[in-house]
């Protein structure tokens, strides 16, 4: 099992690191990795994930543009038994609803791991 140590007062200790501490991790293989500890801001991470959700929703809605145009053209030609403008608009609204639900779900998460692994 790997072990993290913090460099304090000229020596390596087993204290809990805080942002800015110089740390080293001894891996199972025996290798050592030194790094500066940075505590992840949960609020910032949530904000980034919500921005990604909004971008994904926008891409999904944009991908339906050709279907919307096709439905409009077919409706103007009175073609029946095909996907309608209303059908496409309902799909777009379903994406918006799913995106909103995903954003609410992200705001309920409390750990870095849960936020990073969240998918919708």
Q: Residue 8 corresponds to which tokens in the numbers above?
A: 């304090």
Domain tally, the chain: 2
Regarding whether 88 and 102 lie in a shared domain, the answer is: yes
Q: What is the pTM of this model?
A: 0.69
b/e per residue 17-34 (b: at least 16 CB within 10 A):
beeebebeeeeeeeeeee
Residues 46 and 25 in one domain: no
Predicted confidence at residue 28, as pLDDT, reads 82
- Asked if residue 63 and residue 26 are part of one domain, the reply reads no
DSSP3 helix / strand / coil % (the chain, rounded to 5): 50, 15, 30
Same domain, 95 and 65: yes
pLDDT of residue 4: 85
14-33 pLDDT tens trace: 888 888 889 888 888 888 88
Measured between alpha carbons, how far is 39 from 34 in angstroms, rounded to an integer?
A: 16
Note whether 98 and 52 are same-domain residues: yes
Has residue 35 got a pLDDT over 90?
A: no
How many Å apart are CA 58 and CA 106, to the nearest integer?
Answer: 18
| Residue range(s) defining the domain that contains residue 33 | 3-37
In this structure, the answer to whether residues 81 and 24 fall within a common structural domain is: no
């Amino acid at each position: 099992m790997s072990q993290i140590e913090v460099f304090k007062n000229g020596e390596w200790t087993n204290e809990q690191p805080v942002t800015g501490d110089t740390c080293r991790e001894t891996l199972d293989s025996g290798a050592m990795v030194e790094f500066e500890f940075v505590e992840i801001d949960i609020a910032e991470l949530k904000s980034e994930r919500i921005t990604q959700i909004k971008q994904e929703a926008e891409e999904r809605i944009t991908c339906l543009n050709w279907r919307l145009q096709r439905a409009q053209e077919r409706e103007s030609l009175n073609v029946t038994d095909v996907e309608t403008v209303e059908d496409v608009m309902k799909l777009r609204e379903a994406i918006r609803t799913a995106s909103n639900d995903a954003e609410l779900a992200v705001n309920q998460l409390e750990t870095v791991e849960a936020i990073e692994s969240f998918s919708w």
